[in-house]
Amino acid sequence: MTSTDFTIEAEELRRYRYSFHLSPVLWDQYEGPDDLEWKCVPFHRQNLDAIPAAQGVYAFCVRPAIGGNLCGSYLLYVGKTVRPLRTRCREYLAKAEADRERPRLLRMMRLFHGTDYLRFCFAVIPEDDDPFSIEQLLLGATVPPACRELPASVRAAVNAF
C-alpha cells in the first residue's frame, strides 16, 4: 500500500466518523416503555407500504450486516410523529432526494441514502399515548449523534465536551 492509498482510506474513514455517547447510567435511568415493537426497513421509497399509517416514534439506524450482523446497528437519530409514520418517512425521502434537510440529518442522508445500510425503524404508539414523551425518554437514554433536540439535562452534559 502506498502512502497515497492510506491517505484516501483515512479521508474515507474521517468522512463517516460519528461520535457516540454510550452511557450505562443513562440506560439505567430510562423510564419509558420497554415493550415498543420496533420494525426496521431499508430507507427506500419502495418500502413505504411496509410502514404503517399510525402515529409513533421512529429512528434512523445504520446497519452494516457484516458477518451475520456482528456489528449490530448504529442509532443516529430518534424522532416522533402524530401523523402517520409512512407520511413522515415519505417526507424524509423527499428531503433526501431534494438534498434539503437540517445539517445533521442531511449529512446522514448524503452518506447513507440509497444504500441498504440506512434503516428507517419505527414503533407504533397507541392513540392515547404521547409520542413526544416517549421520544424524549429515548433521546435521554440513547443520545443519538444526529439529534440536536436532546432533553435539557443530557444536552448540558453533551455540550460540556
Task: Give all domains of the chain, ordered by start, each with its CATH number.
Answer: 20-159 (3.40.1440.10)
Is pLDDT at 2 greater than 80 in this prediction?
no
The predicted pLDDT at position 84 comes to 97
Residue 161: predicted pLDDT:
66
**pLDDT classification of 61: cutoffs 50, 70, 90:** very high
For residue 151, what pLDDT band results from cuts at 50, 70 and 90? confident
Q: Is 118 left (phi over 0), alpha (psi -120 to 50) or beta?
A: beta
The pLDDT score that the predictor gives to residue 41 is 95
Mean predicted confidence (pLDDT) in 71-89? 94
